[in-house]
Chain A
Amino acid sequence: KQEVTQIPAALSVPEGENLVLNCSFTDSAIYNLQWFRQDPGKGLTSLLLIQSSQREQTSGRLNASLDKSSGRSTLYIAASQPGDSATYLCAVSGIKAAGNKLTFGGGTRVLVKP
């Protein structure tokens, strides 16, 4: 059974510092990996989707890498801002034949201090 772990569970940094969020998964037979942002009491907003054949994806200040063989993904957020404060969740998708289901990590709660 796929298990997804995110370390650290919480992170506090001063504004301007780069953020590094880690995600690991136990089964490398994934279809894709998706990073989400969740604000308190809100739904999930998709940040980046990395297909299993890709090594990384970039969007603005965000960059996510994927190493399937080692079961790891890292989300980098450059030059953090107070507005980046949120919980970040990574999720891996199983194969389409299995319903393309997402398995989530527990999330990393980020606080960027002004």
Chain B
Amino acid sequence: DGGITQSPKYLFRKEGQNVTLSCEQNLNHDAMYWYRQDPGQGLRLIYYSQIVNDFQKGDIAEGYSVSREKKESFPLTVTSAQKNPTAFYLCASSIQSANYGYTFGSGTRLTVV
């Protein structure tokens, strides 16, 4: 079955550590996105990528980094520069050339310990 896989489901980070969240899709979608969700709030865009080897900052990119070396993969690194990283992170993908909307993964919950 085609879809988006995010791993791990739960992640714990110590102060000062960098951690990487995985996002893989087998939908052959061009574009991929990372969103952050805080309790009781909507989703905010962190980074997005429309093609391989290219990505753009979203509304809250500070403290995060991404790479897009393969069409299927769009990992997100939460760096030590992100002061409040505890949140629910969602990855999504879409077809740029058609109006099919977004498909989302099941999310990764990151907690700072």
A-side interface residues toward B, CB under 8 Å? 4, 31-32, 34, 36, 41-46, 49, 51, 89, 91, 93, 96, 99-107
Nearest B residue (CB) for A53: B99
Partner-binding segment picked from B12-20, B64-72, B73-81, B102-110: B102-110
Q: Which applies to chain A's interface (DSSP): helix, strand, loop or mixed?
A: strand
How distant is A54 from chain B, measured CB to nearest CB, in Å?
A: 10
Q: Would A99 and B48 be within 8 Å (CB), given that A31-B99, A104-B43 are in contact?
A: yes
25 contacts between A and B (CB under 8 A): A4-B42, A32-B99, A32-B101, A34-B101, A34-B102, A41-B109, A42-B107, A43-B90, A44-B90, A44-B92, A44-B102, A44-B104, A46-B101, A51-B99, A89-B43, A91-B102, A99-B50, A100-B31, A101-B33, A101-B48, A102-B92, A103-B45, A104-B43, A104-B44, A107-B42
Compute how far the CA of A96 lies from the CA of B107 in the bound complex, rounded to whole angstroms: 25
Q: Which residues of A contact B107 (CB under 8 A)?
A: 41-43
How distant is B77 from chain A, measured CB to nearest CB, in Å?
A: 20
Q: Which residues of B contact A100 (CB under 8 A)?
A: 31, 50, 94, 96
Q: What total of chain B residues lie within 8 Å of the partner, measured CB to CB?
A: 29
B-side interface residues toward A, CB under 8 Å? 6, 31, 33, 35, 40-45, 48, 50, 56, 58, 88, 90, 92, 94, 96, 99-107, 109
Q: Which residues of A contact B88 (CB under 8 A)?
A: 41
Q: Are B102 and A102 in contact (CB under 8 A)?
A: yes
Q: Are A89 and B96 in contact (CB under 8 A)?
A: no
Q: Which residues of B contact A104 (CB under 8 A)?
A: 35, 42-44
Q: Would A99 and B102 be within 8 Å (CB), given that A41-B109, A44-B90, A104-B43 are in contact?
A: no
> Which of A41, A44, A106 has the most CB atoms of chain B within a 10 A radius of its CB?
A44
> Which of B42, B44, B92 has the most CB atoms of chain A within a 10 A radius of its CB?
B42
Nearest B residue (CB) for A4: B42
Compute how far the CA of A101 lies from the CA of B47 in the bound complex, rounded to whole angstroms: 10
Q: Are B58 and A101 in contact (CB under 8 A)?
A: yes
**9 cross-chain pairs, A with B, having the tightest CB-CB distances, nearest first:** A104-B42, A49-B101, A44-B104, A43-B106, A104-B43, A106-B42, A43-B104, A43-B107, A34-B101
